[in-house]
Amino acid sequence: MAENEKELLDDLGGQEYKYGFTTQIETETIRKGLDEQIVRLISAKKGEPEWMTERRVKAYRHWLTLTPPTWAHLAIPEIDFQEIIYYAAPKQQRRLDSMDEVDPELKRTFDRLGIPLEEQMALAGVAVDAVMDSVSVKTTFRETLAEKGIVFCSISEALRDYPELVKKYLGSVVPYTDNFYAALNAAVFSDGSFCYIPKGVRCPMELSTYFRINAAGTGQFERTLIVADEGAYVSYLEGCTAPRRDENQLHAAVVEIVVERDAEVKYSTVQNWYPGDREGRGGIYNFVTKRGLCRENARLSWTQVETGSAITWKYPSCVLAGDNAVGEFYSVAMTNHFQQADTGTKMIHIGRNTRSRIVSKGISAGRSENSYRGLVRVGKGAANARNYSQCDSLLIGDRCGAHTFPVADVRNASAVVEHEATTSKISDDQLFYCRQRGLSTEDAVGLIVNGYAREVLAKLPMEFAVEAQKLLALSLEGSVG
Amino acid sequence: MLSVKNLHATVDGKEILRGIDLEVKPGEVHAIMGPNGSGKSTLASVLAGNEKFTVTDGSVEFLGRDLLSLSIEERARLGLFLGFQYPVEIPGVTMANFMKQAVNEQRLFRGEEPLTAAEFLRMMRERSAVVELDPKLTARAVNEGFSGGEKKKNEIFQMAMLAPRLAILDETDSGLDIDALRIVATGVTKLHTAENATVVITHYQRLLDYIVPDVVHVLYKGRIIHTGDKTLALKLEKEGYDWLINDCRE
């Protein structure tokens, strides 16, 4: 290993997680552990209709028959599901009518996270639903959206105010039988966001959900459901942070997206859960199921920037059911220290002339393990299906791992499936060149990494792209003097 | 400005520089010539601080500072510029972004405010004209897909942006056609002032038609074996290095 690369590795060590604070808010939690009673209790806490309670119980019973998946390239310590608290909510007496009524400490938390919940939002044109621990705290801009018939609220509110919509779509893309963590989520999900864009409506602003785990010993199991009705359009953003803790916390979310005929959904995530410290202690286990269903001429685009979490297990997927549907997946996954990520996508081509595009950029540093796992399936009826996949890996240092597990399962002879993959390192020559122009090693690495990820970052909405660039540089930042 | 004394350097245990002495004063242009493998590029790399090489003996003073004790970026910020023989590509990073960071890094070092986007763009437009660099190239990724000529122009463009005290140009003329050579060389001359100095490493006299050197050195086997004025370059062009090398063997 070249001298400056050794130095570089040392430099990378000093990364500080700036969202690692805890907010002193009174939290209401229930006893830890999981049984049918807990499942019913969560449902009761949320004042859910009977059918919802029964769905949860059904999911719980199914979950009992399952075991955690082991096929990923991840070393996951055994999780004791009885040691987790499945419901924690900032204590609030009643529903709030204006921002002034929100707990000032809570407001401060969101300010520190850089989420402008108030008037700035109008300028930014972003409507935010902030989920702290398990409960949705405040949804901004609901009235503006309501004029267009757009529903954007917490999933608990949706269950109360739009039960028919929820009943119709919840679990329709990711059924509780899908996998171990999806079943768990279906049983104990506490809150999340719901979004419905009516026929032919173009959502005039970016919709955004910010998730934060605050309380100790809790898991977060949010559920997001987005429905874009025929010809509708929405761009949706999701951000996540958590305090630094020595323990591992479980985050098992489910995101379901229904993209009806001629509709389009863009879903962007900047995932920055606490990654653990440099020795690999603590950090979030991010085990997430995300999937969208595309009808005729529909388009779904996933963009993710994954820098956080101790372990990431996540494959945002597209089921291209209708003819001419288009699925896209743009991903930057960065791991450092002892982080592990096994992430990628599934593109399931069912309709004719369906197209998909996958661009995955992995960045591994420290002793981390970073895997891309992808499945492109072309069904018998998917005539003229097209897929293009590009999977690049960038290695920093020689103690990390980058792996690619692409699978193509093509059952229609008229399909064209292309796959390209590259693995590269930041070269000493590149670093020397940048430093000769006056950049520090750290800035040079940040610049090169951002350049490498540019194609994906360019897919993010503007404000998010800037945030993501900083985040990438920050995650590699060290203590160079 | 630059004072190199008895400089020795190795790469992978092999000694490449074997006692270099070189004095460069403000306002001067030096040319370093010599056969392939004589250590010209190594000298440039070592002065810039490339960690591939190990300095085993000697000292270098630059603007009153002990150059060898400084990091690569400190040398750069102090005003030492290396025009690369083989400029590297940095995919996805635009020239504009790259230069903005470099220029602001240097300003920070001097205690100056960073340039605003508008000021920076104006500066880029002015300086790219020095080497007739197509301004569109500044929106492209650093050196990516640049032709050989564009890469070399781009080096001199960066020199124009950073306005160094000492520029070391490592075979900036290699791979250039006649027109590009004239443009690049004229650019270097335009940037020359009484306060800064240029060290040109080259194989060919033709570059020195444009960049007229005050001093010409011949490097051979890691040592400067001969120093003269600009007529030396002409003589070398005509007669080659043999007469010097034979001289040296005696």
pLDDT tens track for A273-325: 888 888 888 888 999 999 999 999 999 999 999 988 899 999 999 999 999 99
Strand-pairing partners, residue A293, are A258, A319
Q: Where are the domains of chain A?
A: 22-427
| Contact yes or no for B49/B42 (Cβ under 8 A) | no
Q: How far apart are CA B212 and CA B27, in angstroms?
A: 12
State whether B73 and A3 contact (CB < 8 Å). Answer: no
Whether the ipTM is more than 0.95: the answer is: yes
Summarize the confidence of residues B8-28 as an average pLDDT: 96
**What residue spans define the domains of chain B?**
2-249
CA distance B144 to B150: 10
Residue of B10, B51, B94, B151 to mutate when probing chain A, most A C-beta within 10 A: B51
- Encoding tokens for residue A270? 């900047």
The better pLDDT of the pair A112, A224 is held by A224
Q: What pLDDT is attached to residue A12?
A: 36
Q: Which amino acid is at A461?
A: P
Nearest to A385 by CA among A425, A415, A417, A365: A415
Residue A41 tokens read as: 């209790």
Query: Quick one: average pLDDT of B220-225?
Result: 94
- Check A448 against B73: CB less than 8 A apart: no
Q: Evaluate if residue A442 carries a pLDDT over 90.
A: no
Pick the residue with more confidence: A124 or B163? B163
Side-chain half-sphere exposure of A256, counting CA atoms within 13 A: 23
Q: What is the pLDDT of residues A6-27, one digit of tens each?
A: 433 343 333 455 555 555 555 6
Which residue in B177, B178, B171, B140 sits closest to B156, CA to CA?
B171
Which band of pLDDT confidence, cut at 50, 70 and 90, is reported for residue B139? confident
The DSSP 8-state label assigned to residue B39 in this structure reads S
Q: Which two tokens stand for residue A57?
A: 């119980």
Residue A159: beta bridge partners?
A: none
Predicted confidence band at B18 (pLDDT cuts at 50, 70, 90)?
very high
Q: Which two tokens stand for residue A274?
A: 């606490």
Closest Cα partner for A444 from A397, A399, A476? Answer: A476
Segment B37-56, tens digit of pLDDT: 999 999 999 999 999 999 99
The distance of A362 to chain B (nearest Cα, Å) reads 15
Residue found under tokens 């595009």: A357
Q: Are B172 and B210 in contact (CB under 8 A)?
A: no
Please report, for residues A30, A429, B40, B177, the alpha-carbon distance to residue A434 in angstroms, rounded to integers and kept in the order given.
54, 9, 21, 27
**Encoding tokens for residue B7?**
């400089």
H or E, element range at B148:
helix B148-162
More reliable by pLDDT, A400 or A350: A350
Tokens of A93: 């007496």
The three-point CA angle A311-A317-A318 to 5° equals 170
Question: Residue length, chain B?
Answer: 250
Q: Which residues contact B57 (CB under 8 A, 6 or more apart)?
A: B6, B7, B8, B19
Which positions 59-118 of B are in contact with A (Cβ < 8 Å)?
A: 71-73, 76-77, 81-82, 84, 87-88, 90-93, 97-99, 101-102, 105-106, 109
Which uninterrupted H or E stretch holds B7?
strand B2-11
Per-residue pLDDT at A254: 96
Mutate to test the interface with A, among B88, B109, B151, B159 (most CBs of A within 10 A): B88
Q: What spatial distance separates the first Cα and last Cα of chain A, rounded to whole Å?
A: 22
Burial pattern A227-263, b for ≥16 Cβ within 10 A else e, equals bbbbbbbbbbbbbbbbbbbeebbbbbbbbbbbbbbbb
B245 vs A346, more confident: A346
A443 and chain B: CB distance < 8 Å anywhere?
A: yes
Angle in degrees, 0-180, between the axes of helices A3-12 and A441-452, rounded to the nearest 10: 80
Please give the Cα distance from A346 to A334 (Å, whole number): 20
Per-residue pLDDT tens over the stretch A67-99: 999 999 999 999 999 988 888 775 544 444 455
CATH of B2-249, picked from 3.30.450.40, 3.40.50.300, 3.30.565.10, 3.20.20.150, is 3.40.50.300
Region B115-122: mean pLDDT is 87
Lookup: tokens for A408: 């193509």
Find the helix or strand (DSSP H, E) in which A166 lies. Answer: helix A163-169
- Is A481 within 8 Å of chain B by CB? no
The residue in chain B having the minimum alpha-carbon distance to the alpha carbon of residue A454 is B92
Q: Report whether pLDDT(A240) > 70.
A: no
Helix or strand run (H / E) with residue A193: strand A193-197
Q: For residue A64, what are the contacts with CB-CB under 8 A and spacing of at least 6?
A: none
Q: Which residues of A touch B98 (CB under 8 A)?
A: 434, 437, 447
Question: Which strand ranges, in their side-by-side order, compose the sheet holding B14-24?
Answer: B14-24, B2-11, B54-62, B65-66
Q: Which two tokens stand for residue A262?
A: 């001629």
Question: Would the CB atoms of A447 and B90 count as touching at under 8 Å?
Answer: yes
